[in-house]
Structure 1
Amino acid sequence: MGNPALRIAVVGPAFPFKGGGAHHTTELAHRLSAAGHEVVIESWRAQYPRFLYPGQQTISEPEGEPFPGTRRRLDWRRPDGWWRTGRALRERDLVVLAVLSPVQVPSYLGILGGLRRRTPVVALCHNVLPHERKPYDVPLMRRLLRRVDGVLVHSGAQADLARGLTGRPVRVAEMPAHLPASAKPAPPDGKVRRRLLFFGIVRPYKGLDVLLRALAAGPDGVALTVAGEFWGGLEETRALIAELGLTDRVELRPGYVPAADVPGLFAAADALVLPYRTATASQNVWMAHEHGLPVIATDVGGFGEQVRDGEDGVVCAPDDVPALTRALERFYTPGEPERLRSGVRPVDHGPVWAAYLDVLTGAITGAVRAP
């Protein structure tokens, strides 16, 4: 059953910022509004210093429909604005802080200072702690999660991590799709292209190096496209490709991939590969399924639930070159790419979103207000 209409503020990135966090914040606001809530987004004029976010931060054209009730008053350089934003939100029924990185914590503490506990606050944690941690990550997140009234995470493992940092109520809800709008997916033509796709920001925890070594040891004649921003390691990746003799089989497309280019990338591949060492939740499985592609993924985070091994993809052990090599060989068994593609079904995300909103707004109606 749905919860009563609320006045809700979602604090997080929105257009012109790009990426999954901005897509999620915007889609969340649209869904809350459609459910009858009065919603605003408090977004940023400037979100991170350049040295903390080496990739492209903003885009010139929105990928999807921007939320009309978006205010861009926050600036990492203006702590006084953090407090003023919190003060302006005191009359809201719920404030949702979209937590993407511990780097946001000082600004969120400023907002909490402005709120003065007048409004219940939920920390919506995309990751409770980063995959690649700094010494300050745990103390910052502990301080934030002990100041809010409730925490929402996207997996049981993340809930356990959050409960190790705070005694506040922690709720779990599956992260629903918030895919960037793009051109219509190309209809499948049934051809096996012997090409795989690695898509998205390239960081060490995503295991591209493991995939390259497995590709070199795996089935002959299989190519790979790597499309996404490199957060360091581009030259090291090029050197590894040369060392493994893969120069003619690996295409690197470093840099942000506009949504309009996504259908062509997926149409040119037989499968999306997610060789992550660790994961929480990812939209990439849903994106592959929307484009009719099976997925080869490691059994981390939610991949083992999103990918049905032997039905619409292949699941293998993480950080294990032989295991991933066997997965590639299994995928390219004659007839298998076609069979796995035929098992791909785009998910109906409406019920997932409805459950997500119930859990989020239930943070208020469920009386989790901290003493």
Structure 2
Amino acid sequence: MRIGIVGPFPPYRGGIAQFSMKLLDTLVRCYPEDDFVPVSYSRLYPSILFPGTSQLEPGTPSPRNGGLRLIDSCNPLAWMSARSALEEGGFDRMIIQWWHPFFALSLMASVPGAIPSAAICHNVVPHESVLLAGKLTRRFLGRMRLAVVHSGTDLEEAKSLELDTRILKLYHPIYDQYLDPSITRDSARERLGYSRSARLVLFFGLVRTYKGVQDLVRAMGSLPDDVLLLIVGESYSDRRGILDIISNMGLSRRIRWIDRFVPDSEVAVYFEAADVVVLPYRQATQSGVAQIALSFGKVLVLTDTGGLSELVEVGSTGYLAEPWSPSSIAESVEEAFSLLLDPGTEERVARKAASFSWEEYARELIESLA
């Protein structure tokens, strides 16, 4: 079969592009008899709508065969040419990354409806309120033969749309591509300027209001002075407000914020240096960052919102805190540090990570789309 994988691919940056690349590599490895073709974007976001510094990460490996760069998110003339190219491309199936209704019109116009397709839903509906989000999502997913969701929360969200589309829940696989055996905890801490004895909490990812970084910063005020927080990620919102909280609470000595996009080559340094990874999201469906943390064997503190609770075994591989609650987050962080003293924790986290397999994900996806 000839199968197109539609979505952003490197050099586009971010989690969806990384997911597209990992999925492509896994499918090529597991199904060598089939032809998998990356179908990327010629334009992802128009500059006026993109809050970051750049949509690209120069130097990131692109798909080996280059693939096609056809999808333009906002040019109807490009939609027609993309549709013609895909109609003439001899595709038997399409696998389409879906995460925001902004892309609904371009995808529906560019990808021929006659080709049986699966949508991989990183979010069924967006975190923020978006005009016509429900109608666009229902229209797009209604064209699919299969919709894959990554959490129980998104499963219920997809069911509520009352579509004829088959819905399949598969857990987001592990992100192990950042592992670097040459980087150890000690070398990472030396590089970042942290002592071996410091208790280091890491928040990693784009900083947006719904991710609750403000709550984690406030939680630091209730934690002992030897607990330090490293925030690694470019701010997309509320930068001034977070800095004001840090300053007003007198936490500048204990909190460092690396406010920029972090290239793949640096990811291992931050995760190896950390003791505990905290994702204090106020709302969420699932998290690729949690899957990075598990690949590095890190104990997780997640908030009990959306599908995050499905990623941690409470008291075994991490803890759950209440969203929007600095006191609950602080309590869970303390419990997580206690968990590090248990010699069995490392093995339990490794088993949890191994349960999120790319090979199993690919197998169920292809069998369900066949």
Task: Report the TM-score range of the alignment, normalised by the length of the smaller protein.
Answer: 0.7 to 0.9
* Aligned 1:82-97 pairs, distance under 5 A: 82-90=79-87, 91-97=90-96
Residue 7, structure 1, aligned to residue 2, structure 2: yes
Q: Distance in 2 between matches of 1:67 and 1:339?
A: 43
Query: Which residue pairs with 2:118 in the alignment?
Result: 122
The 3 A distance-change label for structure 1 pair 350 and 33 is: farther
Query: How well do the aligned residues superpose, as a CA RMSD in angstroms?
Result: 2.4
Whether the 8 Å contact between 1:105 and 1:144 is mirrored in structure 2 is yes
Whether the 8 Å contact between 1:182 and 1:259 is mirrored in structure 2 is no
Residue 328, structure 1, aligned to residue 333, structure 2: yes
Q: Which moved more, 1:37-46 or 1:158-167?
A: 158-167
Q: Distance in 1 between matches of 2:154 and 2:178?
A: 28
Query: Which residue pairs with 2:101 in the alignment?
Result: 102
Q: Distance in 2 between matches of 1:268 and 1:150?
A: 40
1:253 aligned to which of 246, 250, 258: 258
Question: Cα distance, 1:194 vs. partner?
Answer: 1.6
Q: Which moved more, 1:251-260 or 1:277-286?
A: 277-286
| AA aligned opposite 1:231 | Y
Q: Which moved more, 1:121-130 or 1:188-197?
A: 188-197
Corresponding residue SS for 2:70:
strand
Whether the 8 Å contact between 2:174 and 2:295 is mirrored in structure 1 is no
2:56 aligned to which of 54, 58, 65: 58
Q: Distance in 1 between matches of 2:352 and 2:331?
A: 28
Query: Which residue pairs with 1:360 in the alignment?
Result: 365
Residue 184, structure 1, aligned to residue 181, structure 2: yes
| AA aligned opposite 2:222 | A
Whether the 8 Å contact between 2:232 and 2:257 is mirrored in structure 1 is yes
The 3 A distance-change label for structure 1 pair 23 and 77 is: same
Residue 47, structure 1, aligned to residue 34, structure 2: no
Corresponding residue SS for 1:123:
strand
| AA aligned opposite 1:102 | P
Residue 267, structure 1, aligned to residue 265, structure 2: no
Q: Distance in 2 between matches of 1:301 and 1:200?
A: 18
TM-score normalised by length of structure 1: 0.87
Q: Distance in 2 between matches of 1:311 and 1:118?
A: 47
Question: Cα distance, 1:182 vs. partner?
Answer: 5.5
Question: Cα distance, 1:272 vs. partner?
Answer: 0.8
Query: Which residue pairs with 1:33 in the alignment?
Result: 28
Question: Cα distance, 1:218 vs. partner?
Answer: 2.3
Corresponding residue SS for 1:122:
strand
| AA aligned opposite 2:4 | A
Question: Cα distance, 1:314 vs. partner?
Answer: 2.2
Residue segments in structure 1 that go unaligned for 5+ positions in a row: 1-5, 366-371
Q: Distance in 2 between matches of 1:184 and 1:258?
A: 18
Query: Which residue pairs with 2:340 in the alignment?
Result: 337
Residue 81, structure 1, aligned to residue 78, structure 2: yes
Q: Distance in 2 between matches of 1:31 and 1:144?
A: 26
Residue 24, structure 1, aligned to residue 19, structure 2: yes
Q: Which moved more, 1:140-149 or 1:184-193?
A: 184-193
Question: Cα distance, 1:237 vs. partner?
Answer: 0.8
Deviations 1:253-282 (A, max 9, x none): 101011222222123322111111222221
| AA aligned opposite 1:266 | F
| AA aligned opposite 2:148 | L
Corresponding residue SS for 1:138:
helix
Q: Distance in 1 between matches of 2:177 and 2:42?
A: 21
Whether the 8 Å contact between 1:273 and 1:295 is mirrored in structure 2 is yes
Corresponding residue SS for 2:11:
coil
Question: Cα distance, 1:157 vs. partner?
Answer: 1.8
| AA aligned opposite 2:24 | A
TM-score normalised by length of structure 2: 0.88
* Aligned 1:177-216 pairs, distance under 5 A: 177-181=174-178, 183-184=180-181, 186-188=183-185, 191-216=196-221
Whether the 8 Å contact between 2:303 and 2:322 is mirrored in structure 1 is yes
Whether the 8 Å contact between 1:30 and 1:67 is mirrored in structure 2 is no
Question: Cα distance, 1:119 vs. partner?
Answer: 1.2
| AA aligned opposite 1:48 | Y
* Aligned 1:200-239 pairs, distance under 5 A: 200-239=205-244
Question: Cα distance, 1:130 vs. partner?
Answer: 0.9
Corresponding residue SS for 1:339:
coil
The 3 A distance-change label for structure 1 pair 246 and 331 is: same
Question: Cα distance, 1:349 vs. partner?
Answer: 5.1
Whether the 8 Å contact between 2:280 and 2:302 is mirrored in structure 1 is yes
Q: Which moved more, 1:161-170 or 1:121-130?
A: 161-170
The 3 A distance-change label for structure 1 pair 360 and 125 is: same
Length, aligned pairs only: 354
Q: Which moved more, 1:189-198 or 1:13-22?
A: 189-198
Percent of aligned pairs with the same amino acid: 30
| AA aligned opposite 1:94 | R
| AA aligned opposite 2:146 | G
The 3 A distance-change label for structure 1 pair 185 and 98 is: farther
Corresponding residue SS for 1:83:
helix
Q: Which moved more, 1:139-148 or 1:70-79?
A: 70-79
